[in-house]
Amino acid sequence: MPLYAQNIKVSFGGLLALQGVTLEVKIGYRVGLIGPNGAGKTTLFSVLSGHIRPQEGEVFLDGHRITHLSPETRARLGVGRTFQIPRPFPGLTVYENALVFARFTGRAPNPEKSAQKALEVLDLLKIADVPVEQLNVSQLKRLELARALAAEPRYLLLDEVFAGLNPREKAELAEQVEILAKERNLGLLVVEHDLKTVFRLTQWVYVLSFGSLIAEGPPEAIAQDPKVIEAYTGGVI
């Protein structure tokens, strides 16, 4: 059963950030969410994670309505997320950061093992004992992902984890994410500005523009969709 947002409306004061948006992430599928700046991607992402309550519409998990549930409860039910700006716990090491998350949701039967495995998958084991203050951008992005993974989610929502990385780092991380999503049979939602990375990583892409969905489909089709090209270029082409 999927993670499903149905007919979502969110407004901030007078500004309509999302309207009539429906999106589905199935277990075992990698889904992308793209759109120009201010299109509503982060808002929709937060509706799914429970950080924003919609004015209209519902969110379902495994067929149950979870619209009213907090982010913490959703995390316990297996919906994990990353933050655009990594938020490691200061004063703790890389391993300790992963362990806090592994314990927090109560999903990992063996939190130490889950934390260790998550660091291993993201190539952070060799710096497991380093205080997070000493990490560079690429390592912080990996840690953000590793922490979410350590909690053993079934669905993983990635908010621009590739931003700030150079092309080689992006390609490497995208490959790691694809492998771990397949290995763990995750339902993955990727919000990302870098279209090349989204198109390579995902199997289905939703496109938001001014708060509405303007297209959805396989990456190959989305990349050539005139509506999508127009949304990105403002019709300048």
Ligand X SMILES: Nc1ncnc2c1ncn2[C@@H]1O[C@H](COP(=O)(O)OP(=O)(O)OP(=O)(O)O)[C@@H](O)[C@H]1O
What is the binding site for ligand X (CB under 6 A)? 12, 15, 17, 35, 37-43
Nearer to ligand X, 34 or 132 (CB): 34
Nearer to ligand X, 38 or 164 (CB): 38
**Which stretches of the chain are assigned E, i.e. beta strand?**
3-12, 15-25, 30-34, 56-61, 64-65, 79-81, 155-159, 187-191, 204-209, 212-217
Distinct helix (H) and strand (E) counts, the chain: 9, 10
Nearer to ligand X, 138 or 212 (CB): 212
Q: Report the nearest approach of ligand X to the CB of residue 89 (Å).
A: 24
CA angle 209, 211, 215 (to 5 degrees): 45
Q: Report the nearest approach of ligand X to the CB of residue 98 (Å).
A: 26
Those residues whose C-beta lies under 8 Å from the C-beta of residue 122, and which sit 6 or more positions away, are 142, 143, 145, 146, 149, 176
Nearer to ligand X, 40 or 86 (CB): 40
Q: What torsion, rounded to 10 degrees, do the Cα atoms 199, 52, 122, 28 define? A: -60
Q: Report the nearest approach of ligand X to the CB of residue 19 (Å).
A: 11
Q: What is the rounded CA–CA span in Å between residue 134 and residue 191?
A: 27
Q: Report the nearest approach of ligand X to the CB of residue 43 (Å).
A: 3
DSSP letter for 134, please. G
Nearer to ligand X, 111 or 211 (CB): 211
Q: Report the nearest approach of ligand X to the CB of residue 36 (Å).
A: 7
